[in-house]
Amino acid sequence: MNNTGEIILHEGKTEQKTRFVELRAKGYPYSKICKELEVSKGTLTVWNGELSEEIAKLKAENLRTLYDTYFMNKEARIKRLGDMLKKIEDELSKKDLSSVPAEKLLDYQLRYVEALRDEYIEPQDTETVTELNAEGILKEVVSLFAKIKSGEITKEQAYRENIVIANLLKAYENSILEKKIDALKSILHSR
């Protein structure tokens, strides 16, 4: 086959792999994917091994999108609960409690107050790692784990902090690698 034919086949395979990642992230079984992409189950098994990280990332992104769509973020939930509580309080202030079954409105008021209380998270002082070293990063990981376990932070906050810690770890690993490369260069230059 000529170079042009090989490039076309490669592009087609790339498109198929991209579509495979999308379908697996949505939870499609191999049988349906085999029919749609017109490839064997064995090929899909190989691709699944090669692309498992991409599938997991897309699946996580899809779940975050669904969560944001249906459950709203914490700020939106607090605002909605607060707005509803305000409406209930406004209605209560207009009512003559002797003629209206106030117990229902009071019950709703108590429920919304409780729901708002459940959403409250005590603001935490954020400590930053002063030195980029393994011990400092480990302390941050342990601190994040403790905050998650105790419920001090939301899932969104934990996700953001985890990204920061992962970036710190990458930077630390890169600095260590650079030091090792510099040491090797100096050894090679001294010879």
- Whether residue 124 is contained in a domain is answered as no
Are the C-beta atoms of 60 and 25 separated by less than 8 Å? no
pTM: 0.36
Same domain, 78 and 63: no
Average pLDDT over residues 62-73: 70
State the total domains in the chain. 3
Q: What percent of the chain has pLDDT over 70?
A: 78
Q: Both 22 and 45 in a single domain? A: yes
pLDDT at res. 2:
45
Task: Please indicate, yes or no, whether residues 38 and 79 belong to a single structural domain of this protein.
Answer: no
Same domain, 41 and 90: no
**180 falls within a domain:** yes
Do the domain assignments include residue 46?
A: yes
pLDDT digits (tens, 9 = 90+) for 87-102: 888 887 776 655 556 6
**Dihedral (C-alpha) 49, 54, 59, 64: value to the nearest 10 degrees?**
150
Q: Do 101 and 87 reside in the same domain of the chain?
A: yes
Annotate 23-38 with b (16+ C-beta within 10 A) or e (fewer). Answer: bbbeeeebeebeeebe
Is 160 a domain residue? yes
Q: Say whether both 157 and 140 belong to one domain.
A: yes
Rounded-to-5 percentages of helix, strand, coil across the chain: 80, 0, 20
In the chain, % of residues over pLDDT 90? 6
Which residue range forms the structural domain that includes residue 94?
A: 72-119
- Sequence-separated (6 or more) residues with CB below 8 Å from residue 71: 77
Specify the pLDDT at position 8. 43
Co-location of 7 and 64 in the same domain: yes
> Would residue 127 count as lying in a domain?
no
Q: What is the mean pLDDT of residues 82-91?
A: 83
Same domain, 10 and 63: yes
Inside any domain, residue 125: no
Does 48 share its domain with 14? yes
Same domain? For 139 and 104 the reply is no
What number is the average pLDDT over the span 157-186?
Answer: 84
Burial class (CB in 10 A: 0-12, 13-18, 19+), 191: exposed
Q: Is residue 128 part of a domain?
A: no
Q: Is residue 76 part of a domain?
A: yes
Same domain, 94 and 109: yes
pLDDT for position 159? 87
Q: How confident is the model at residue 4 (pLDDT cuts 50, 70, 90)?
A: very low
Q: Are residues 57 and 98 in the same domain?
A: no
Q: What mean pLDDT value characterizes the chain?
A: 78
Average pLDDT of the residues in 70-76: 66
**Angstrom distance (rounded) from CA 110 to CA 175:** 55
